[in-house]
Amino acid sequence: MSNLSLFDLIGKKALVTGGAVGIGRGCAVALAQAGADVAIVDIDEKTGTKTAEEIKSMGRQSLFVKCDVTDKQQVQAMVTAVVEAFDQLDIAVNNAGIAILGADEELPQADWDKVIAVNLTGTFLCAQAEAQQMIRQTPTEGKIINIASMSARIANCNASYDASKSGVVHMTKTLAVEWGRFNINVNCISPSYILTPMHASTPVAVRQRIREITPMGYVERPEDLSGAVIFLASAASNYVTGHDLLVDGGHTLNAWLAPLGREIPPRISPDQESKQMKADLDKMGLPYDANGINPDLHPEIADVFRQAFGD
Ligand SMILES: NC(=O)c1ccc[n+]([C@@H]2O[C@H](COP(=O)([O-])OP(=O)(O)OC[C@H]3O[C@@H](n4cnc5c(N)ncnc54)[C@H](O)[C@@H]3O)[C@@H](O)[C@H]2O)c1
């Protein structure tokens, strides 16, 4: 096996939850570029179907499966549908996730429950159903990749989100211990702020602040995760398990420092930063301004930033 073919995913069968847009779509495209056939799993049928078509236009097999990851029966049926189409399941990226912002001293319990249900319980239900399939098939092996967040390590968003993501990281370690004997690697990837529809309302001043405190000097984009997801999905990571791969441009190293100066332009320009997010918003048929901002998409995020940074 050459070093390059270590990363080869030709013939591999994958699924990505929350794959319609954003990070999930970015992971699906990366896996397809490396050769995998990829099922798109999401509650958003309209956009998810378009993303599945996009994967097919790359010369790979794809299908859309509608599934709410909080519902165990739907999750079991989703894995069955993927295996009916692909015959097997080699790679699963459990990415579906939400944030409901709000001051924690007043957060309604229903909001807490919803975030934990999607981010933590949903990730577990998917991983469990995927592992059951990987254990059943021959050869018995698989790669499960959970999308956590830098918020598992730093107090960044709010209690429900941060707790759910810390839960994903620790759950990943436990599942890695339990499922190593089935040749299943279980790892997670922790991104920092990524310009996706989840952050479409982030004002220009906040993006600039992120650049200033991030050593690599630009705001993360979905394709910045491509290398990490291909690595964890491929034979290149066969001896890596229970790992939380932080992909944050160094953001969490310096969160408390004064702005970092730089004389050399970063690799990625502000225009390039928001290109993928604009593509997501185009796919969803949603408008945005010249800076790629749609303040109506997640007004609660815009409000939090407005309180911290002004207009
Ligand atoms: N954007 C960021 O800055 C960032 C940073 C770190 C981690 N993350 C994590 O990455 C993941 C993806 O984030 P994103 O920014 O692409 O979000 P996004 O809101 O742009 O996309 C999330 C996708 O998940 C789907 N989804 C939501 N609830 C679902 C459910 N119950 N069942 C199935 N699908 C569901 C949505 O329809 C959507 O297609 C999340 O787990 C998020 O917490 C995001």
Q: What is the pLDDT of residue 298?
A: 86
Give me 102's structure tokens: 């709000």
With residue 62 as reference, give the H or E element that holds it: strand 62-66
Q: What dihedral angle (degrees, nearest 10) is formed by the CA atoms of 26, 31, 33, 35?
A: -170
- Pick the catalytic residue: 161, 193, 218, 288? 161
Q: Is the CB of 193 under 6 A from ligand 1?
A: yes
Identify whether 139 is preceded by a cis peptide bond (ω within 30 of 0).
Answer: yes
Condensed to tens digits (0 to 9), the pLDDT of residues 132-189 reads 999 999 999 999 999 999 999 999 889 999 999 999 999 999 999 999 999 999 999 9
Instruction: Give the CA distances from residue 5 to residues 9, 10, 60, 226, 290, in Å, rounded to whole numbers and listed in that order.
Output: 8, 9, 18, 16, 41
CB atoms within 10 A of CB 220: 25
Q: Which atom of ligand 1 approaches the CA of 148 most closely?
A: 7
At which residue do the structure tokens 């059951």 appear? 132
Rounded to the nearest whole angstrom, what is the distance from the C-alpha of residue 42 to the centroid of ligand 1?
Answer: 10
Cβ proximity of 196 and 292 under 8 Å = no
Read off the DSSP letter of residue 38: E
Q: What integer pLDDT is reported at residue 301 of this predicted model?
A: 81
CA of 190 to the centre of ligand 1 (A): 13
Is the distance from CB of 110 to CB of 56 less than 8 angstroms?
Answer: no
Share of the chain above pLDDT 70, in %: 98
How high is the pLDDT of residue 307? 78
Contacts with 205 (C-beta within 8 Å, 6 or more apart), sequence order: 305, 309, 310
Of 75, 83, 155, nearest to 123 by C-alpha is: 75
Q: Please give the mean pLDDT across all residues of the chain.
A: 94
Check if the beta carbon of residue 27 is closer than 8 Å to that of residue 95: yes
Q: Is the CB of 199 under 6 A from ligand 1?
A: yes
| Among protein residues, the one whose CA lies closest to atom 7 of ligand 1 | 149
CA 290 to chain centre: 26
- Tell me the C-alpha distance between 183 and 138, whole Å: 11
CATH H-level superfamily of 4-196+219-251: NAD(P)-binding Rossmann-like Domain (3.40.50.720)
To the query of whether residue 161 is one of the catalytic residues in this protein, the response is: yes
Distances in Å between the Cα of 71 and the Cα atoms of 15, 95, 123, 136, 290 are 17, 15, 11, 22, 39
Q: How far is the CA of 19 from the centre of ligand 1 (A)?
A: 8
Q: Which two tokens stand for residue 129?
A: 């159903």
- Measure the CA–CA gap between 290 and 288, rounded to whole angstroms: 7
What tens digit of pLDDT does each residue of 36-46 get? 999 999 999 99
- In this structure, are residues 86 and 130 in contact, taking their beta carbons and an 8 Å threshold? no
Q: Which of 16, 25, 42 to mutate to test the pocket of ligand 1 (most atoms within 8 A of CB)?
A: 42
The residue ranges of the chain whose pLDDT is under 50 are none
Nearest CA to ligand 1 atom 23: 18
Q: Look at residue 311 in the predicted model and tell me its pLDDT.
A: 64
Using DSSP's 3-state secondary structure scheme, residue 142 falls into: strand
For residue 35, report the distance from its CA to the centre of ligand 1, in Å: 24
Q: How far away, in angstroms, is 78 Cα from ligand 1 center?
A: 18
